[in-house]
Amino acid sequence: MANIHANEYDVIIIGAGISGLVCGCYLAKAGMKVLISEQHFKPGGYCTSFKRKNFTFDAAAHCFGGYRKNGITRKIFEDLNINTRLKVIKSNPSNIMMTPDYNISFWDEIEQTGYELEKCFPHESKNIIKFFNFLTRSPASEFIRIRHMTFQDLLDLYFTDNKLKSLLSAPLLGIGGLPPALMSAFVGAKLYSEFLLDGGYHLTGGIQELPDTLAEAFQGSGGTLLLSSRVRKIKVKNKSVHGVIVGNNEFISSKYVISSCDAKQSFLELLDKEDVEKEFCANLNKMRPSISNFILYLGLDRNYRELPCRAATICFFSHYDLNKSYRAIQKADINSYGGYMMYIPDREPSVLAVIPAPYKNEEFWNENKEYFSSWFIKRIEETSIPHLSEHIIYKEAATPLTLFRYTLNYQGACFGWAATPSQLLVPGFKKNIEIEGLYLNGHWTTQGMGISSVAYVGAETAKLVLKKQKIRYT
Amino acid sequence: MTKLVEKTIIEIVSDVSGFDPDEISMDSNFFKDLEIDSIKAIEITVAIEKKFKINVRDEDVPKLTTVRQAVELVGKLLNQKSSKATIA
């Protein structure tokens, strides 16, 4: 007979993305009985890798930031004792911004990055220093002032040169999914301080090593990880969470449920309609998700000299009108978009290339996937890797539908909600006020995006639960 | 009125920081005592603005370091709002 307590946990976490795993690690380490239920057959969410023909491709995210001394990600890895188990390598430069006029690298030394920008924009020299100082040295309270601003507003406070402003904003379109006129200044500032000015950290065997190591640490602390296990329902009793239903109608009880999956799914599908406030649902339906991506994976036949800077993330733009680019992408008009992001790992000759893409139906992608791939390869060939097409021995692409299928993020959104000022830190998202014991976690909390941010949210969610339980954490 | 403002602000700070309302006093410093970082500082400010339907101005931001200061500022902004409403 099965153990009658087998289906009882203190905490159930839905989704083994980075936020879910980090959260689970903190809770299990503090002695709580934790279950993570993940629908995919491997942990990681957007941080997974897959192997084809001796190539290891990172499926979406390929590197992380915030790993300097006192950096947000480093602090978490140290707390969880996984920093010694991971072989973290920093690429230097971490990012390269390419336009027809400029080629700017983001170096380990922030001063060096500033110096490169100053060389190209000598008339903005002092402002560049002031801007970087604001991003990296401001006290926490300083950021309150920029809470309602867009990143464009913030740039306008510091700079007059429009080309420089576009150049500084272009990487954010790739890693945050919005042009400066729409992106929250705070989110842009965080992406700068925690990714562009402290980024390029990758793992020797691919990004999958991160969730795998977290999963190992979680299980090592007594946590239970269920893979290929989709949560179907979150059950609520007397305004408190009561447990979840997984797979084939199996009920698992818990005092806390932490939903590290998408917000719409959590509140509109997993919870019963009568358990969620109507006003909250109405607000949820008005919110806009972030953009999805079209991702190209190429395996190449040898290391040939034309391969540009290995291990750096390259961001290319042929023009400076980022609002035009963003409008183009809503219409799936890749020709007018004018940019792309690309990563060539140092472990093998392969290419990971990304452009934002809208969520469209299967018919659209069946018709257009090949066109997008061919256009993309041609574009890379023209702008950064000559003769690329002659060396491809493996080719695959992921559309927004693929991203949705593997992660169940609403419409394949890559960054949770679109990071506009009005969708920043919306009250009632992280901890549900109506339902006791229910928390949302990860990039749908309106708290930020990217690995360092979701790891931070995961750690903070765990701390909320531990404080509630009066359990000390270290 | 002040008591209600105080209670509401402590609830918001408790929700954001995770500290029990009993652990939060009027003299608690957000940054030194309650582990408030930049994200949580904005979260608290946005929640206060939404809850009381007020707008915290840039010049008031430095006044937001303790619970007492937040309560006083919200009280002041609410008074201004009601006197404006009376004039209108």
Residue A2's pLDDT band (boundaries 50, 70, 90)? very low
Give residue A84's Cα distance to chain centre: 23
Question: pLDDT digits over A234-271, tens only?
Answer: 999 999 999 999 988 999 999 999 999 999 999 999 99
Indicate yes or no: CB of B41 within 8 angstroms of CB of A431: no
Nearest one of A394, A176, A378, A424 to A293, comparing CA atoms: A176
The two three-digit tokens of residue A96, written as one number: 């390269």
CB contacts of B38 in chain A (<8 Å) are 138, 140-144, 186
- Give me the pLDDT at residue B88, please: 53
Contact of B18 with B7, CB cutoff 8 Å? no
CB contacts of B19 in chain A (<8 Å) are 467
- Give me the pLDDT at residue A130, please: 97
Q: How far is B38 from chain A (nearest CA, A)?
A: 4
Indicate yes or no: CB of A427 within 8 angstroms of CB of B36: no
Question: Which of B24, B39, B51, B63 would you mutate first to test chain A, the one with the most A CBs within 10 A?
Answer: B39
Q: How far is B84 from chain A (nearest CA, A)?
A: 24
Question: pLDDT digits over A264-323, tens only?
Answer: 999 999 999 999 999 889 999 999 999 999 999 999 987 666 677 788 999 999 999 999
Indicate yes or no: CB of A147 within 8 angstroms of CB of B46: yes
Question: pLDDT digits over B36-84, tens only?
Answer: 999 999 999 999 999 999 999 988 888 789 999 999 999 999 998 887 7
Q: Between A221 and A427, name the one with better pLDDT.
A: A221
CB atoms within 10 A of CB A378: 12
Give the chain B residue nearest A433 (alpha carbons). B15
- Give me the pLDDT at residue B4, please: 92
CB contacts of A138 in chain B (<8 Å) are 38
Give the chain B residue nearest A430 (alpha carbons). B16
- Give me the pLDDT at residue A361, please: 95
Question: pLDDT digits over A153-171, tens only?
Answer: 999 999 999 999 999 999 9
Q: How does the average pLDDT of chain A come out, rounded? A: 94
Question: Which of B32, B34, B38 would you mutate first to test chain A, the one with the most A CBs within 10 A?
Answer: B38
Q: How far is B48 from chain A (nearest CA, A)?
A: 9
Residues of A with CB under 8 A from a CB of B: 138-145, 147, 186, 424-427, 431, 433, 447-448, 456, 460, 463-464, 466-468
CB contacts of A474 in chain B (<8 Å) are none
Give residue A89's Cα distance to chain centre: 19
Indicate yes or no: CB of A141 within 8 angstroms of CB of B19: no
Q: How far is B22 from chain A (nearest CA, A)?
A: 12
What are the Cα distances from residue A202, in Å, to A39, A172, B10? 26, 19, 41
Give the chain B residue nearest A137 (alpha carbons). B38
Indicate yes or no: CB of B61 within 8 angstroms of CB of A141: yes
Distance CA A382, CA A397 (A): 20
Q: How far is B54 from chain A (nearest CA, A)?
A: 14
Q: How far is B18 from chain A (nearest CA, A)?
A: 5
Average pLDDT over residues A412-439: 92
Distance CA A148, CA A330 (A): 24
Distance CA A362, CA A389 (A): 27
Question: Which of A148, A193, A425, A441 would you mutate first to test chain B, the one with the most B CBs within 10 A?
Answer: A425
Average pLDDT over residues A91-119: 95
Nearest one of A47, A50, A59, A63 to A15, comparing CA atoms: A47
Contact of A38 with A15, CB cutoff 8 Å? yes
CB contacts of B50 in chain A (<8 Å) are 427
Indicate yes or no: CB of B42 within 8 angstroms of CB of A427: no
pTM of the predicted model as reported, rounded to 2 decimal places:
0.96
Contact of A396 with A52, CB cutoff 8 Å? yes
Contact of A297 with A397, CB cutoff 8 Å? yes
Contact of A77 with A86, CB cutoff 8 Å? yes
CB contacts of A467 in chain B (<8 Å) are 18-20
Distance CA A293, CA A412 (A): 8
The two three-digit tokens of residue A306, written as one number: 């034309």
CB contacts of B36 in chain A (<8 Å) are 140
Place of tokens 């394949």: A412
Indicate yes or no: CB of A144 within 8 angstroms of CB of B19: no
CB contacts of B64 in chain A (<8 Å) are 141, 144
Residue among B39, B46, B64 minimizing CB distance to A427 = B46
Average pLDDT over residues A387-393: 92
DSSP string covering A90-141: E-SS-EEEE-SS-EEEE-SSHHHHHHHHHHH-GGGHHHHHHHHHHHHH--GG
Q: Where are the beta strands (DSSP E) in A138-238?
A: 201-203, 224-226, 231-237
- Give me the pLDDT at residue A439, please: 96
Give the chain B residue nearest A140 (alpha carbons). B38
Indicate yes or no: CB of A425 within 8 angstroms of CB of B43: yes
**What's the complex ipTM?**
0.92
- Give me the pLDDT at residue B81, please: 82
Q: How far is B83 from chain A (nearest CA, A)?
A: 26
CB contacts of A460 in chain B (<8 Å) are 18
Give the chain A residue nearest B23 (alpha carbons). A467
Give the chain B residue nearest A436 (alpha carbons). B15
Average pLDDT over residues A104-113: 95
Residue A430's pLDDT band (boundaries 50, 70, 90)? confident
Q: How far is B17 from chain A (nearest CA, A)?
A: 7
What are the Cα distances from residue B82, in Å, to B6, B45, B49, B52? 18, 20, 15, 12
Is the predicted pLDDT of residue A332 greater than 50, yes or no? Answer: yes
